[in-house]
Amino acid sequence: MQTIETTGRAGSVIARCRKLASFSEDPESTRRTFLSPPMHECHREIAGWMEPLGARSRVDAAGNFHGFYPATQPDAPRLLIGSHLDTVPNAGAYDGILGVVLAVALLEELRGKKLPFAIEVLGFSEEEGVRFGTPFIGSRALVGRLDQELLSVQDSRRVSVRRAIEEFGLNPNEVPQAELKNDTLGYLEFHIEQGPVLESLKLPLAAVDAIAGQSRLELIFLGKGNHAGTTPMQLRHDAVAGAAEWISLVEKLAQETSGLVATVGKIEAKPGTTNVIAFEARLTLDVRHSSDKIRSCAVADLIHQARDIAARRGLSVRETSLLDQPAVAMDPFLTAEIEQAIRKTGCKPHRMTSGAGHDAMVLAERVPAAMIFLRTPGGVSHDPAETIVAEDVEKAIQCGLHLFDQLALSQEFQQRTSRA
């Protein structure tokens, strides 16, 4: 199985993803957070690809990139295609970015042909939640959920979302104008799977039928700081020790609950000194499941266990909810059309649930949304070793073009057009 190719249209997609990966806050790795300076370079690069296609580019007040490719009629509704442009620290080159680059590649393959619907390429400003601890800032703006409370959230340097927008050269007072209009037919997102399922099945593509719900929380265990050498073990109120006991229970619950994944991804101790017992341990918790009921029960159980541990150890604990995102089903019509398009590429169709969150789950609040997964070699993502298969990219392009043809001829889609 070939994973790297530098020629042909698939090779062009891969090269462009790597080019965008070079626009980074860090000199030796890829890190591009919400409206950091390298995002300007991304916008300029993508706009340069789209200009020869007769597409108009703009950036909305939430920092989302828009590239508009017109339809046969000037007042036709639009199909949105895209993904996010931000990354995690020490990122790979394809998570999110591939969906934007593939959207541009599909427009290039139209070779000037116009469809009954316009196509709008979207590059969301933020999905990962790295800078502000809250994900989906870009897509929330499109569904009207980038409110004053979220605009006031601050990063580690005490810069608010509002201030970050201003520093990027945009006007946060214009954020409401980013909200979707009623001429939107739907949203389509190509994305790497970020897991091992497709590789295990030896399949290049899959139609996503649902996205698992997510809960993200911050927990703070509070104890008493003291000298590490003079305080007997039985007289300690060690916040880190309490947190460590709880972390083992997080793993145990997830292992015992089918389909549940739970992660403590960040731990900070204060004062963070070798010879001082920590008086504070701050942790993040990420819980996901396709069933909202199972996920909610797991979160409640883990909070209860944290309180029990704290009481037994003479600590206190407080929790803050950062995200409570319900599981989201993808649009059945679009998902069925994707399966048909995959079949036309000569590949076996496959449906799967996404364990990772995506902008599609936010857009689905307002418009029909669908996703196409590409195989991820080794299941590696959020790491520089993240890669894709050139042949899979070619199949994804074929799939997208078949999908365009199907939607242009679909009676159901034309009915959606007349209702938009």
Report the CATH number at residue 391. Answer: 3.40.630.10
3 lies in some domain = no
2 lies in some domain = no
Pair (202, 219) in one structural domain: no
Pair (231, 313) in one structural domain: yes
pLDDT higher than threshold 90 for residue 420: no
Domain that holds residue 31: 8-212+327-419
Among 21, 162, 17, 3, smallest CA distance to 89 is for 21
How far is 81 from 66, CA to CA, in rounded Å? 10
What was the pLDDT predicted at 238? 98
285 lies in some domain = yes
Burial class from Cβ neighbours inside 10 Å (0-12, 13-18, 19+) for residue 341 reads buried
How big is the CA angle at 76 (ends 74 and 82), to the nearest 5 degrees? Answer: 110
Alpha-carbon torsion (204, 207, 212, 216), positive or negative: positive
Q: Which amino acid is at 200?
A: S
How far is 100 from 83, CA to CA, in rounded Å? 6
Rounded to 10 deg, the angle between the 390-409 and 332-344 helix axes is 120
Pair (195, 254) in one structural domain: no
pTM, two decimal places:
0.83
200 lies in some domain = yes
pLDDT digits (tens, 9 = 90+) for 330-376: 999 999 999 999 999 999 999 999 998 899 999 999 999 999 999 99
Among 315, 309, 308, smallest CA distance to 239 is for 315
pLDDT band, residue 294 (cuts 50/70/90): very high
Last residue of a domain, one of 325, 342, 366: 325
* Token duo for residue 6: 């530098």
196 lies in some domain = yes
Among 215, 237, 31, smallest CA distance to 135 is for 215
pLDDT digits (tens, 9 = 90+) for 252-276: 999 999 989 999 999 999 999 999 9
pLDDT band, residue 411 (cuts 50/70/90): confident
Number of domains making up the chain: 2
User: Which residues, other chains included, contact 332 with Cβ-Cβ below 8 Å and sequence gap of 6+?
Assistant: none
pLDDT digits (tens, 9 = 90+) for 99-158: 999 999 999 999 999 999 999 999 999 999 999 988 999 999 999 999 999 999 999 999
Last residue of a domain, one of 289, 310, 325: 325
What was the pLDDT predicted at 7? 66
Are the CB atoms for 38 and 24 separated by under 8 Å? Answer: yes
1 lies in some domain = no
What was the pLDDT predicted at 164? 98
Pair (237, 375) in one structural domain: no
* Token duo for residue 291: 């069933």
How far is 116 from 22, CA to CA, in rounded Å? 36
pLDDT digits (tens, 9 = 90+) for 129-146: 999 988 999 999 999 999
Last residue of a domain, one of 325, 352, 373: 325
* Residue given tokens 């689905």 in the structure block: 364
Report the CATH number at residue 231. Answer: 3.30.70.360
